[in-house]
Amino acid sequence: MKDCIPIFTVLADENRHLILKLLLDNGKMNVNQLTDNLHLSRPAVSHHLKIMLSANAVSVEQIGKERFYRLAMKDEIEKMGELVELMKNIIRIIQNKI
């Protein structure tokens, strides 16, 4: 379940929640579009996107001079689903012992 740690890092920050929501609502966006919507500095948005890229929460596509980001969390959602099932099993075991 160590595979889930990067996505928890992504989910641990409110600004990254907002980026995820914007990408969910808009499909793909570049750094300038995200910066305008978030009222964060461009370096701050780029920092968050770097973390999200390393966790495979987003993907990037180069179109001309622009880099567009979009959600890419399918595998991470599946991993989290497996973690939830594991936790349910642990809870059942604990409840049966109490």
Maximum Cα interatomic distance, the chain, rounded to a whole number of Å: 61
Domains and CATH numbers, the chain: 2-97 (1.10.10.10)
For residue 73, give every residue at least 6 positions away whose Cβ sits within 8 Å of its Cβ, in sequence order, or none. Answer: 7, 56, 57, 58
For residue 37, give every residue at least 6 positions away whose Cβ sits within 8 Å of its Cβ, in sequence order, or none. Answer: 22, 29
At 83 the pLDDT is 76
Q: How confident is the prediction along the chain (98 residues), in pLDDT tens digits per residue?
A: 566 677 778 888 999 999 999 999 999 999 999 999 998 999 999 999 999 999 989 999 999 999 999 999 766 667 777 778 888 989 999 999 88
Q: Are 49 and 58 in contact (CB under 8 A)?
A: yes
Q: 């099932």: which residue's tokens?
A: 85
DSSP designation for 4:
G
At 70 the pLDDT is 95
**pTM of the model as a whole:** 0.76
At 74 the pLDDT is 64
